[in-house]
Structure 1
Amino acid sequence: MLNADRLPPERTGPEPLRERIAAELLAARARTAALTDCVDERELTAQHSPLMSPLVWDLAHIGNQEELWLLRNVGGRDPMHPEIDPLYDAFEHPRAARPTLPLLPPAEARAYAHEVRGRVLDLLAASPLEGVPLLDEGFAFGMIAQHEQQHDETMLITHQLRPGPAALSAPPPPAADLGRLPAEVLVPGGPFTMGTDTEPWSLDNERPAHEVSLPAFRLDTAPVSNAAYQEFIADGGYDNPHWWTPEGWEHRRRASLQAPLFWQREGGRWLRRRFGVTEPVPGDEPVLHVCWYEADAYARWAGRRLPTEAEWEKAARHDPATGRSRRYPWGDAEPTADRANLGQRHLQPAPAGSYPAGESPYGARQLIGDVWEWTASDFLPYPGFRAWPYKEYSDVFFGPEYKVLRGGSFAVAPVACRGTFRNWDYPIRRQIFSGFRTAVSVDET
C-alpha cells in the first residue's frame, strides 16, 4: 500500500517546499490510480449507491478542480475544456443525478487528469511560492493535494458500498500490545488554544486560533469498540427510545436501524461486510459506520455523552506542561506508521488502544486515524472566521444541520489530517468511516 509518511510542512526555502508539494501531488495521484485502475470500465461508470458519485465522476472532478485553481487561478491559463466545468461542479448536480450527465468516459477522464497534472508540475517548477496569498507557502498546491486525497477517501467509501467481490487489499494493522490501559483519561479544566494561525495548509474553518476555556472532563482512552457496542445492542439499545433524542428515535424507526451499517446477525454471531469480504466482527476494533444518532444513543446508555469539539481538540492538542497546543497528539512531527493508522495503509481500524507512540499528553490514544469521531458539536465558524479562498468550502455548510467529526480515519491521508482539521456531515450518515468515543463532566468543587 501507499507510504503515509511525509515531509513536515516546515517554513523552509522554495526548493524543499517545491519537493514536498510534488511529493504530495504524486502520492495523491498514485492513490487515485490505485482506486480506479482496480475495477473495469463498467464499474467505474456505475453508481454503486445514490449516496455516492460514479468513480469516473470523482476522477474527472479531481482534474477539473486542479485545472481551475492551479492552471487558471494561479497560472492565468485559459480553460482547457470549459464545456465540462458544469458537469464537475459539485454544487451544480446532486450525487444521485450524476450518472445521467454526459460525463467523460474513463479513458478520456484519465487523459484529462493526466494532462492537467503535467501542466501543474511545470507550473510548480516556475512558481515563486510567495508574494500572493494563494501561493504563500504553496497554499494552493497544498489545497489541491488535500482535495484529491479527500476524494480518494470518498472513492474508498464507494468501494465499501460497491457490491461484488473485493477489488482492494491491504495487510491488517500490526498486532497491538495494549497492556492494562485505563478506561478513561482526565483532562483538567482551564484554557487552551483552539484552531490555528500557523499551519500553512490549514483550511479556512480551522482558523483563526482562539482561546477556549473548558471545565474538567474525562474522555475515553480509546474509541468505543465493537464489543462494547454489541453490549448496547444486546441490552436493547435500539429498541428503547429513552436513549435516543426525539429526532434520533424517529430516524431509527424510519431507517429501521438495528446495528451498524454492513453488520448482519448470523448463527448467533455478528458478521460484517468489509470491501467485498464477509467476516466476523472483531470485538477489539473501534466500532465503524455508525451515525451521530447511534453514537449519541450509546453514550446516553453508557451514562456518558459525546465530547464537544473543543473538548476533543483540547484532549488531542493541549500540552499541560508547556501550555501550548501541538499539531498532533504526540507533538509537531508528521504522522508515522507507529503513531497513527492513516493513508489507506490498512483497510480497517487497528484494535482500540493501539499506537502508544501516538498518545496525547493526557494519555488518550488513536485521536488521529482509525475512525472519524463524532462530537456533540454543530458545525459552526470560529470567532473571527473569514471564508477563503472561496465560500463554498465551509461557509455554506455552517449550521445545526451538520455535526462535527474529528481525527480522521484509516482512509484519510496525512496531508488532510491534523489536530485542527474539521470534518462535518449530516447526523444520519453511516457510509463514512465514522466511530466515536465518550466523555463525562467532572465536578471539581
Structure 2
Amino acid sequence: MESEHMVAEDYKAQVLEELELARSRTEQLVRSLPEDKLEVPYHPGVNPPLWEMGHSAFFYEVFVFNLLDGTPSCDPSMDDLWDSFHVEHRDRWRRDLFPGREATLKYFNTVYDRVSERIGSRELTGQELYLYRYAVFHQNMHIESLIWCRQTVGYPAPAEFIGDRPAPGEPVTGDAEIPAGRWLIGMPGESDDFAGEDFAFDAEKPRFEVELPAFAISRTLVSNREFQAFVEDRGYQRPELWSFGGRKWLETEVDVSLVHGVSEPQLKVPRHPLYWRWHGNQWQERFFDQWLPLNPDAPVTHVTYWEAEAWCRWAGRRLPSEYEWEVAALGNRPEESFRRYPWGNERPDASRVDMDARSMARNPVFDYPVGDSPFRCRQMVGSVWEWTSSQFLPYDGFKVDMYPFMSTLQFGDHKVTRGGGCATSSNLIRGTYRQAYLPLRNDVYTGFRTCALNG
C-alpha cells in the first residue's frame, strides 16, 4: 500500500491544478453570460448552462463523497434534479425547478472547496486518484458542452477564444501510405488500474493487437474549400451519393406546398452544412453570434456522419475505420515504445493542437505541423472530432467502469469519432480516446478525413 500512496502523491499537485482549471473555466463560461442568456432556448442537443454547472458538481458528490466517504450530498433534496438519469432532458429548462445563478454558483463552489480540501489534506490511494481524475475529465466534457451550446444558440464566443494562428504550416496535400502490419489499439489495464499517465475510460480498454492491410489516408482534414465543391456540384440533391440512412436524414423535414395547383410533399433538403449561408454573393459561416466569410482552408465543421459519407462517395473516397484512424495517428506497434499522442508523450499545447477553445477551427488544415503523426498526418488531435466508419462497440474483454453509463448507453447505434475538437479540453484527449455520436449529430464540432478506396 505504501507504493500505491507514493504513486498517487506524485500526481496530487497535477490533480489539484486540473480541478482548479476545470472550476475556473466552468465558472467563467456561466458568469460571462447576462441573465437573459441563461434562458437557453430548448434544443435537443444542448443543456442550459446552469444545469451543466450543477450536474458537474453533483458528479463529485456521488463519486467522491457518497462513494468514498459515505457522506450525503450538500443538499440531498436537489440530487434528482442534477442527476441526468432522474430529470428528463426537456425538464432541465424549467427554471422553476432549479435554483438561480448565484445559488447554483454557491452550490458549485461549496462542492469544489470540499473536494480541494479533501485532496490536499491526506495521502491519496490509487483508487482515490482515479476517482478524482475521472470526475475532472467528466467535468471537462461538460465544459465542451457549454461551448457548443453557445454556438448552437448563437451566443458570444467564450472568453478563452483568442482567434490567433499560433502554429502556421505550409500547405500539404495527398495521402499518407500506411504499411500492412500488426498494430496496438487502445490503452492497457482493466477497470481497477487507477493512477498514472495511463488513465483511460472503459471504452478504451483493454489494449489488443490487430492485423491491418496497407491503406492510404489523407494527410489533412477535409477543408471548407473541398466541401464547398461538393455543395456547388449539387451534392445534397443527388440521391445516388447518399446511403439509405443519409437519405432518411435528408427527408426528415417535409413541407406541403402547392406545385402546379397540386398539393404534394416537397422535401426541405439541406443544401449546405449547418452553419453556412450564401449571402452578399459569398459563402458565410455563423461563428457564435457573428456571420463571417467562410475560410476556405479551415476544416469543414458541424457536419453529420451522413454528410461525410456522401462527400466520400462524391469524391471517390471512404471514411477510415477507427482502427485505421488510430494507427495513422499513433503508429503503435507491439514491442515498441507506446505513444499517447501523434507526436509522442508530451502533453498537448497550442503549438501542436487547436483545442481549449483558443482558435475554434478557424485555422487552415495544414497548420500545426509539429503535431504531425509518425506518418505525417496533420491535426489528428484537435480541430474537429473525426468521423470514422465504425460503430461504437466494446472491445473484446470490455469491463464496465465505475460509472456504468459512460459508454454502455451508446453501444450499437452511435458512430465512433476520434481525436477531439477545438472545444475539447486538451487534458482530456489521448490518441486512444473514443467518443460516440449519433450519425445525425452536427451541433458538435465534427469533421472528417478520408481514405483511398483501394486501400
Could you tell me the TM-score, scaled by structure 2's length? Answer: 0.89
Shift of 1:268: 2.6
Equivalent of residue 92 in structure 1, options 73, 79, 86: 86
SS at match of 1:415: coil
Cα displacement (A) at 1:51: 2.5
Preserved CA contact (<8 Å) 1:194 1:325: no
Letter of the 2:234 partner, please give it: G
Whether the aligned pair in 2 keeps the contact of 1:285 and 1:351 (CA below 8 Å) is: yes
The equivalences for 1:70-89 within 5 A come to 70-89=64-83
Q: Which residue of 2 aligns with 1:67?
A: 61
* Secondary structure, counterpart of 1:343 in structure 2: coil
- CA shift for structure 1 position 129: 2.6
Q: 1:54 aligns with which of 22, 25, 48?
A: 48
Match of 2:443 among 394, 406, 431: 431
Do the aligned partners of 1:60 and 1:104 also contact (CA within 8 Å) in 2? no
Q: Give 1:190's match in structure 2, choosing from 181, 186, 194.
A: 181
Could you tell me which residue of structure 2 aligns to residue 107 of structure 1?
102
- State the distance in 2 between where 1:51 and 1:335 align: 28
Amino acid at match of 1:276: D
Q: CA deviation at 1:368?
A: 0.3
- Structure 2 equivalent of residue 20 of structure 1: 14
Alignment map for 1:24-423 (pairs within 5 Å) = 24-47=18-41, 49-100=43-94, 102-130=97-125, 134-135=127-128, 138-163=129-154, 168=159, 170-174=161-165, 177-197=168-188, 199-255=197-253, 256-319=269-332, 323-399=336-412, 401-423=413-435
| CA contact 1:197–1:209 (8 Å) conserved in 2 | yes
Q: CA deviation at 1:336?
A: 1.6
Measure the CA separation in 2 of the matches of 1:346 and 1:43. 23
Task: Answer yes or no: is the 8 Å Cα contact 2:173–2:220 preserved in 1.
Answer: no
Q: Give the 3-state SS of the residue equivalent to 1:413 in structure 2.
A: coil
| 1:327-372 CA-partner distances (Å, limit 9, x unpaired) | 0000011112111111122233421011111101111010000110
In the TM superposition, residue 207 of structure 1 has moved relative to its aligned partner by 0.5
Q: Secondary structure at the match of 1:423?
A: strand
Distance of 1:378 and 1:44 partners within structure 2: 35
| Deviations 1:19-75 (CA, angstroms, capped at 9, x unpaired) | 000000111111112211111223224335342111111011111111111122123
Contact persistence 2:150–2:156 (CA under 8 A): no
RMSD over equivalenced CA pairs, Å: 2.0
**Does the Cα contact within 8 Å between 1:330 and 1:360 map onto a contact in 2?**
yes
Structure 1 residue 164, shift from structure 2 partner: 5.5
One-letter amino acid of the counterpart of residue 92, structure 2:
R
Q: CA deviation at 1:183?
A: 1.7
- Name the CA distance, whole Å, in 2 between partners of 1:111 and 1:442: 58
Does structure 1 retain, via aligned residues, the 8 Å contact 2:381–2:419? yes
Asked whether the 8 Å contact 1:172–1:348 carries over to 2, the reply is no
**Contact 2:354–2:360 under 8 Å retained in 1:** no
Q: Is the contact made by 2:209 and 2:334 (CA closer than 8 Å) also made in structure 1?
A: no
Letter in 2 for 1:233: V
Give the 3-state SS of the residue equivalent to 2:357 in structure 1: coil
In structure 2, what residue type is equivalent to 1:150? M
CA distance in 1, matches of 2:155, 2:430: 34
Q: 1:229 to 1:402 in 2, by over 3 A?
A: same
Distance verdict in 2 for CA 1:190–1:166, change over 3 Å: closer
Q: What one-letter code is carried by the residue in structure 1 that aligns with 2:342?
A: P
Shift of 1:180: 4.8
Alignment CA distance shift 1:313-1:165 (3 Å): closer
State the alpha-carbon separation in 1 of the partners of residues 157 and 164 from structure 2: 18
| Aligned partners of 1:44 and 1:56 also within 8 Å | yes
- Per-residue CA deviations over 1:77-136 (Å, capped at 9, x if unaligned) read 2222111111111122332231136012111110001000011011112343326xx32x
For structure 2, the 5+ residue unaligned runs are 190-196, 254-268
Moved more, 72-81 or 415-424: 72-81
In structure 2, how many angstroms separate the alpha carbons of the residues matched to 1:389 and 1:13?
Answer: 21
Stretch moving more, 114-123 or 95-104? 95-104
Identity across matched positions, percent: 33
Report the Cα distance in structure 2 between the residues aligned to 1:12 and 1:280, rounded to whole angstroms.
54
With 320-329 and 91-100 compared, the bigger mean Cα shift is at 320-329
Q: Does the CA-based 8 Å contact 2:183-2:327 persist in structure 1?
A: yes
Deviations 1:174-194 (A, max 9, x none): 165433523211111111110
**Mapped contact 2:171–2:366 kept (Cα < 8 A):** no
Residues 152, 177 of structure 1: CA spacing in aligned structure 2 closer, same or farther, 3 A cutoff? closer
Distance of aligned partners of 1:347 and 1:177 in 2 relative to their CA distance in 1, 3 Å threshold: closer
Greater displacement, 390-399 / 163-172: 163-172
Question: Is the 8 Å Cα contact of residues 196 and 420 (structure 1) preserved in structure 2?
Answer: yes
Contact 1:51 1:95 in 2 (8 A): no
- Structure 1 residues without counterparts, runs of 5 or longer: 1-10
Given that 2:168 and 2:368 are in contact with CA atoms closer than 8 Å, whether structure 1 keeps it comes out as: no
State the distance in 2 between where 1:220 and 1:56 align.
Answer: 41
Determine if contact 2:52/2:146 at 8 Å carries over to the other structure.
yes
How many Å separate the matches in 2 of 1:102 and 1:319? 50
Equivalent pair of 1:326/1:332 in contact (CA under 8 Å): yes
What is the alpha-carbon distance in structure 1 between the residues aligned to residue 122 and residue 415 of structure 2? 38
